[in-house]
Chains A and B, each alone.
Chain A
Amino acid sequence: MYKIVRKESLNPTVTLMEIEAPFVARKAEPGQFIILRTSEDGERIPLTVAGYNREKGTVTIIYQIVGGTTMKLDHMNVGDCLHDFVGPLGKKTHVEGLKKVAVVGGGVGCAIALPVAQKLHELGCEVHSFIGFRSKDLVILEKEFKEASTKMTIMTDDGSYGEKGVVTMPLKAAIEAGENYDEVIAIGPIIMMKFVVATTKPFNVPTVVSMNPIMIDGTGMCGGCRLTVGGKTKFACVDGPEFDGFEVDFDEAMSRGRSYAEFEQHAREKACNLFKEAK
């Protein structure tokens, strides 16, 4: 069993959990993901690794409460055990040899971008972070990003914190001002990653994006997580989750991501009612 050893609310809809999973903790690297189930007969959900402690044997996950399963997860507490926790899955972020990188994070995607920034920082790479949120009360991991970055820019859609606007604005300005990034790594909502690529492509700055499609087994068996990359079908679980942003068909990924929207809505309501009754 996989015990929850720490739980921290980062903002009203985003929570951090540290899970006892010694085997996964030994091997996990930034960019990889895990799959968990809260209970027997529960759904398998993939979450990207937000951190790990090899000595303590723990793995950190950060999730946004979006569906039935994350709602159930959020009702679990320190000392409770997850039924299943498997990983690390997928390929790790390529960080070797990079000297100067722009790390772009959007919303809860910042949780996944952070370990990448930290790893790069640790390796002596110059890290410029551009992190964006809808508003001030949704800002997460600001301090951690600051520590892992040479330069950091915070954006909010409504201007309630940092600068007003979207992350592509300062990114474009930085590139235009002559910052020669070896690479841009963008992690966040698909629409954000699509616009980051639209920003970097004219300047031909290599751009890596982290995809988070619908997935079941996560080991290359079901094919549910397939994407079109460079005109070819790729599987996010074994070929990714990170891909060359210039090659990803974002519109298709967005459409496929909505396959179960109705079901999810229903599952959310069901879980809501369940927890209301419990109270």
Chain B
Amino acid sequence: MPNMSKVKNPMPCQDPKVRAHNFKEVTTGYTEEMAKDEAARCLQCKNPFCMAGCPVHIHIPEFIALVAEGKFEEAYQVIHKSSALPAVCGRVCPQESQCEGKCIRGKMGDPVGIGRLERFVADYHNEHSTAKPEVPASNGHKVAVVGSGPAGLTCAGDLAQLGYEVTIFEALHTAGGVLVYGIPEFRLPKAIVRKEIEGLKAMGVKVETNMVIGKVISIDELMQEYGFEAVFVGSGAGLPKFMGIPGENLKGVFSANEILTRSNLMKAYLPDCDTPIKQSKNVAIVGGGNVAMDAARTALRLGAENVYIVYRRGMEELPARKEEVEHAEEEGIIFKTLNNPVEILGDEQGWVKGMKVIKMELGEPDASGRRRPVEVPGSEYVLDVDCVIMSLGTNPNPLIKSTTPGLDTNPHGGIIVSEESAMSSKDGVFAGGDAVTGAATVILAMGAGKTAAAGIHEYIQNKAK
């Protein structure tokens, strides 16, 4: 008999008052009992909608049935067939708009906690499994992967499984891309990312850090001089967007990428770190996505007294994962929704001393289907802040495009690819993730990495015939 409780087993968390001052993981994960109890809520639908909602099509009912039986390692093997990074996805996927959003139990109560179960299973495996991954026999074909974020890691993992000799080129000094520089330790411990990358290396994948492809070696050179038969470009999104309002280049105004990179990649939150990070008292984050939540909660942990999310639409429209918004609220982040900055004010020394904000109201729906925010005339006021963090998304990075002749991009700068194979306009060059779509989610990038791996396999096998 399934467990007919209408509510999900709650996720155990660190107390909000405690965690607001540390960088340890916020959620501590299900126990075996909780996992089995939650798994028993799954109705084992014959035609599971949840799978249709998963960008990498994990066999969700199958793994959940194994969890209910206490066969956790077997459950892991089911997930791992479809996802290279289960411990990551269980933590950062927007389940409410994917698998769980489609779950039939969600019609009358909470959906099954698929994400929490995925994380439980992956953590169980990481803790208990001693099995070394099998190193597949080489098929003699070399593939280069540019970027070691979720798209690149997934693509590399799938190709390595098929016997390809894969080399990942990473621009930074540490592999992991946004999983390392972007998502904070308290949401995705870096040890988990390292473990996933070690797993790939154990399968024979080579990782070359400090290699900015497009600068140190061009895509053409990778193929012509270094013998790579195909290249996957998963270089991520690039240049942070700013609003274009007065005062944006004052000291104390940062992009979310900068604050997160300083804190996560460079570990500036540690007291003895060589990389500086500004200590602020009152911080405004402009934007409402996951990155904005990460920046806000990082600012709080760095010691800010008041942290505001300034967002031009309403609470309902926040694009961030629901759980992140809830966690942020619990920790004391102040949401100034229906507010939009018009100017950042500076003192004589060029430091931020406030932000002029105008109130908004929602009007008619715009092209995205969301109601367009419009200014309320005369409603300007000054928010007392000494730091402003812009979290407005990114524009594509020009490095690869500008150094790769024959690589077509769309007007936004994203690389144009075939939907089926992920091949670009350039023969043998494939792409996926934010480099194609602009800023999106980890799981979508992983889905694109998977598609590209299949596309590369087909391309090389056809050529070999």
Identify which of residues 146-203 in chain A touch chain B, using a CB-to-CB cut-off of 8 Å: none
Q: Which residues of chain A are within 8 angstroms of B276 by Cβ–Cβ distance?
A: 260, 263-264, 267
Given contacts A37-B173, A86-B171, A235-B239, whether A24 and B274 have CB atoms under 8 Å apart is no
A275 to B212, CA, bound (A): 34
Any chain B CB within 8 A of the CB of A204? no
Identify which of residues 214-256 in chain A touch chain B, using a CB-to-CB cut-off of 8 Å: 216-217, 219-224, 226-228, 233, 235, 238, 249, 252, 255-256
Identify which of residues 150-203 in chain B touch chain A, using a CB-to-CB cut-off of 8 Å: 171-173, 181
Any chain B CB within 8 A of the CB of A69? yes
Contact B261 A216 (CB under 8 A): yes
Contact A221 B212 (CB under 8 A): no
Identify which of residues 241-257 in chain B touch chain A, using a CB-to-CB cut-off of 8 Å: 242, 244, 248-249, 251, 254-255, 257
Q: Which residues of chain A are within 8 angstroms of B240 by Cβ–Cβ distance?
A: 221-223
User: Which DSSP category, helix, strand, loop or mixed, fits chain B's interface?
Assistant: loop
Q: Which residues of chain A are within 8 angstroms of B210 by Cβ–Cβ distance?
A: 84-86
Contact A23 B249 (CB under 8 A): no
Any chain A CB within 8 A of the CB of B266? yes
Smallest CB separation, B277 vs chain A (Å): 9
Contact A41 B257 (CB under 8 A): no
Which residue from chain A places its CB closest to the CB of B239 in the assembled complex?
Answer: A220
Contact of B397 among A24, A85, A220 (CB under 8 A): A220
Contact A222 B261 (CB under 8 A): yes
A87 to B172, CA, bound (A): 11
Q: Which residues of chain B are within 8 angstroms of A220 by Cβ–Cβ distance?
A: 238-239, 397-399
Identify which of residues 215-243 in chain B touch chain A, using a CB-to-CB cut-off of 8 Å: 215-217, 236, 238-240, 242
Given contacts A37-B173, A89-B215, A220-B398, whether A255 and B274 have CB atoms under 8 Å apart is no
Q: How many residues of B contact A (CB 8 A)?
A: 39
User: Which DSSP category, helix, strand, loop or mixed, fits chain A's interface?
Assistant: mixed
Any chain B CB within 8 A of the CB of A68? yes
A226 to B255, CA, bound (A): 10
Contact A267 B215 (CB under 8 A): no
Given contacts A23-B211, A222-B261, whether A87 and B216 have CB atoms under 8 Å apart is yes
Contact A24 B262 (CB under 8 A): no
Which residue from chain A places its CB closest to the CB of B274 in the assembled complex?
Answer: A43
Smallest CB separation, A148 vs chain B (Å): 26
Any chain A CB within 8 A of the CB of B350? yes
Contact B172 A217 (CB under 8 A): yes
Given contacts A37-B173, A220-B239, whether A88 and B216 have CB atoms under 8 Å apart is yes
Any chain A CB within 8 A of the CB of B135? no
A259 to B210, CA, bound (A): 27
A228 to B250, CA, bound (A): 11
Any chain B CB within 8 A of the CB of A27? yes
A233 to B392, CA, bound (A): 15
Given contacts A220-B238, A235-B239, whether A24 and B216 have CB atoms under 8 Å apart is yes
Q: Which residues of chain B are within 8 angstroms of A228 by Cβ–Cβ distance?
A: 249
Contact B251 A255 (CB under 8 A): yes
Q: Which residues of chain A are within 8 angstroms of B216 by Cβ–Cβ distance?
A: 23-24, 26-27, 86-88
Any chain B CB within 8 A of the CB of A83? yes
A258 to B254, CA, bound (A): 15
Smallest CB separation, A71 vs chain B (Å): 11
Any chain B CB within 8 A of the CB of A121? no
Q: Which residues of chain B are within 8 angstroms of A264 by Cβ–Cβ distance?
A: 276
Contact of A23 among B181, B217, B265 (CB under 8 A): B217
Contact A88 B215 (CB under 8 A): yes
A238 to B257, CA, bound (A): 16
A249 to B238, CA, bound (A): 24
Q: Which residues of chain B are within 8 angstroms of A24 by Cβ–Cβ distance?
A: 216
Q: Tell which of A27, A84, A217, A263 has the most Cβ of chain B within 10 Å.
A: A217
The 0/1 profile, CB within 8 Å of A marked 1, for residues 380-407 of chain B is 0000000000000000011100000000
Q: How many residues of A contact B (CB 8 A)?
A: 42
Any chain A CB within 8 A of the CB of B273? yes
The 0/1 profile, CB within 8 Å of B marked 1, for residues 68-89 of chain A is 1100000000000001111111
A228 to B248, CA, bound (A): 10
Any chain A CB within 8 A of the CB of B267? yes
A86 to B171, CA, bound (A): 8
Given contacts A69-B274, A233-B248, whether A216 and B171 have CB atoms under 8 Å apart is no
Any chain B CB within 8 A of the CB of A42? yes
Any chain B CB within 8 A of the CB of A100? no
Smallest CB separation, B258 vs chain A (Å): 4
Contact A216 B258 (CB under 8 A): yes
The 0/1 profile, CB within 8 Å of B marked 1, for residues 2-45 of chain A is 00000000000000000000011011000000000100011110
Any chain A CB within 8 A of the CB of B349? yes
Smallest CB separation, B384 vs chain A (Å): 21
Which residue from chain B places its CB closest to the CB of A225 in the assembled complex?
Answer: B258
Any chain A CB within 8 A of the CB of B418? no
Contact of B267 among A41, A69, A217 (CB under 8 A): A41
Smallest CB separation, A117 vs chain B (Å): 24
Any chain A CB within 8 A of the CB of B3? no
Q: Which residues of chain B are within 8 angstroms of A219 by Cβ–Cβ distance?
A: 171-172, 212, 238, 397, 399
Any chain A CB within 8 A of the CB of B138? no
Q: Which residues of chain B are within 8 angstroms of A27 by Cβ–Cβ distance?
A: 215-217
A267 to B236, CA, bound (A): 33
Contact B275 A44 (CB under 8 A): yes
Contact of A42 among B172, B209, B236, B274 (CB under 8 A): B274
Any chain A CB within 8 A of the CB of B278? yes
Given contacts A219-B171, A223-B258, whether A87 and B249 have CB atoms under 8 Å apart is no
Q: Which residues of chain A are within 8 angstroms of B172 by Cβ–Cβ distance?
A: 217, 219
A259 to B181, CA, bound (A): 22
Smallest CB separation, A244 vs chain B (Å): 18
A233 to B249, CA, bound (A): 8
Q: Which residues of chain B are within 8 angstroms of A69 by Cβ–Cβ distance?
A: 274
Smallest CB separation, A222 vs chain B (Å): 4
Contact A238 B239 (CB under 8 A): yes
The 0/1 profile, CB within 8 Å of A marked 1, for residues 275-290 of chain B is 1101000000000000
User: B residues within 8 Å of A by Cβ?
Assistant: 171-173, 181, 209-212, 215-217, 236, 238-240, 242, 244, 248-249, 251, 254-255, 257-258, 261-262, 265-267, 273-276, 278, 349-350, 397-399
Can you sample 10 A-B contacts with CB below 8 Å?
A: A41-B274, A217-B181, A219-B171, A220-B239, A223-B239, A233-B249, A235-B239, A255-B251, A258-B251, A267-B274
* Top 4 A-B pairs, shortest CB-CB distance: A223-B255, A255-B350, A43-B274, A263-B276
Known pairs A226-B242, A238-B239, A259-B278; list 6 more (Cβ under 8 Å): A27-B215, A44-B275, A86-B171, A216-B258, A217-B261, A221-B239
